[in-house]
Chain A
Amino acid sequence: MLIFSGSSNKSLTQKIAKHLDIKVSPAEIFVFPDGEKRIRIQEKVLDKDCIIIQSASIPPDENYMELFIMIDALKRSGAKTIKTVIPYLGYQRQDHIFRDGEAVSLEVIAEILVKVGMTELFSFDLHSPKIPEVFSVPVKHLSALPLFAEKIKKDFNLDEIVLVSPDMGGIRRIKQVSEMLGNVPFATVEKNRDLANGAITDAGLTGDVRGKTAVIVDDMISTGITMVEAANLLIENGATKVFVFATHAVLAKYADKILQKSRIERVVVSDTIEVPLYSLFPKLEILSIAKIAADALK
């Protein structure tokens, strides 16, 4: 078994390789000034089982294109299998047509991955459980939630917390975590959006958070605005403290600054996306999914 790394999350690759007790195989990734990339696989792969790790985080197009041509290089060099770990699957939210004239971008990406030669996909906490259906190869849908449950058990008194989903779409996820923690109570933020401009018109809360420590659990933090709005709502409704757990630290735009300045005590994420040094902030804590990925790859 050989393991290769794209350029988006090399530290995760190192960690996964360590758990698998193998060395990361060398591949040269050169970027031309116009953004074109050139790949050279520097180890024989003929008849070998290969793994590539590449997160489709910011910048998503560049990371995907790099992955496509890396898979192409492995395939043309005779690799037997190409297991692809995309810990954060970019474009997953564009999984259906919301309005006329849109693309189903996830399907475009999925079809290219299979066409260039990916034989199996491993990904974490997909936005919708239906996403694996888009792929015509096996998909292992892994989760950082057990990692979060363990951490919550260790850091909090379970009698004092309430789990919170920041939107209705996260109910399935919050129920899972609640079960892992012996049916801890949970609440949900309900938002009504203006369909034309996406602005939140009003927000309410189902469930009781008064006098409790609110622990928000979600799949990703993008601009951080959802989290901050949810935290403010929870405190207005009597929550004493607010913590956030999210698998994917997309951290778009000023998310790091917004979250650091917010009333959120601590933001716990996983390393599905490598947070660049300039986006790290004191409230941020990162847990590693490397062992979960390695166990699935074994």
Chain B
Amino acid sequence: MATTQIDNSTFPNFVLLTGSANEPLAIKIAKLLKSPLNNPVSVFADGEIRIKIAPNLRRRHVFIIQPTCAPVNDHIVELLLMIDAAKRASSSEVIVVMPYFGYSRQDRKEMPRVPISSAVIASMIAHAGADRILTLDIHSEQEEGFIQQPWDNVYASYALTPAIKKKKLENLIVVSPDKGGVPRATFYQRLLGVGEMAIVYKERDLSANNQSEAMAMVGDVKNKNVLLIDDMIDAGGTIVHAANYLKEKGAKRIFAAATHGLFSGDALEKISKSALEKVIVTDSVLHRKEVVRNPKIEIVSVAPLLAEAIKRIETGDSISSLILR
């Protein structure tokens, strides 16, 4: 990646805003683009969010960086109000950059009389006035169909693969911790040039929340170094159960890589006690101090990837050529 920089004399209409969800990431992106960055968010005493955008937005292309990580609901409303304010300030285009899309797991009716919350969020974003969405490893790519607006989804493999390669792991096997993750695992298998893959099955009990158990597997991990691949680590149950199960099955060193490291609840404690040697995640969400300090967790930045994607959206260059396939 030679020049990510957006030259303000060549692109005078480019404006970069951030909400309060992940300012360190936004600052990194702004630095790479050599662009000014504005945060228009403040909060009233009663918890209501107030937006006041300072720079002139008339006929500008406004990029809003806001992964809707915890506290999810506040960050979503913040985003919606920023889009509204940008629209009303006569911007010509509002582009929402959501490296993490809260509620994206609630993308279907898994039982009767439940909402499709992810569709509600997507439609709210479109309705508030967003002209385009840029996401990073959205939970299921079908979600792009929830709205009519263009939706680019880029892959964190761009940042994760080099970090994994750096570990120079011999005799490696890529493992998907569930059935749904198989396409993602095969994708990493190809990127890393790894010969083998295995799948751990789990049966999720729908009546218990966030609970999952490793049950069985396809493939052989005996005496191999393992790389578990997932899109997100939330309470950590899936990845920890899979790792411990693989250890029982004779795996040697066990690593995990995931795009979104939420590490909610007692995830860190579970990971510390588990057979996992290292967990590599990106900075798509704002990490708590305990996460950053945890010796088992390694964080790689997706700022270069997102900066490049933002630049290409602004310049009208291809995004698909940025996506490693």
Contacts and interface: CB of A to CB of B under 8 A. Distances in A.
A61 B46 contact: no
Given A45-B113, A72-B120, A103 B88 contact: yes
Interface in A26-40: 30, 32-40
A115 B123 contact: yes
Given A61-B73, A101-B52, A252-B47, A34 B81 contact: no
A70 interface: yes
B120 A69 contact: yes
B45 A34 contact: no
A253 B50 contact: no
A34 B72 contact: yes
B76 interface: yes
Interface in B114-150: 114-117, 119-120, 123-124, 127-128
A97 B52 CA distance: 10
A116 B124 CA distance: 9
A252 B48 CA distance: 11
Contact of B209 (A30, A57, A59): A30
A68 interface: yes
A77 B265 contact: no
Interface string A21-58: 00000000010111111111111110000000000011
A40 B111 contact: yes
A222 interface: yes
Nearest to B40: A101
A102 B85 contact: yes
A32 B115 contact: no
Contact of B53 (A64, A72, A91, A101): A101
Nearest to B84: A103
A59 B47 contact: yes
B124 A36 contact: no
Contact of A38 (B50, B51, B106, B262): B106
A112 interface: yes
A101 B54 contact: yes
Interface in B83-110: 84-85, 88-89, 102-103, 106, 109
Given A34-B72, A77-B112, 9 more contacts: A34-B70, A36-B117, A43-B113, A59-B47, A68-B120, A68-B124, A101-B52, A252-B44, A252-B45
16 contacts: A34-B262, A35-B72, A35-B74, A41-B113, A41-B114, A59-B73, A61-B77, A64-B73, A65-B72, A73-B114, A76-B115, A102-B51, A108-B80, A112-B80, A112-B124, A252-B45
Interface of A: 30, 32-45, 57-62, 64-66, 68-70, 72-73, 76-77, 90-91, 93-94, 97, 99-105, 107-108, 111-112, 115-116, 222-223, 250, 252-253
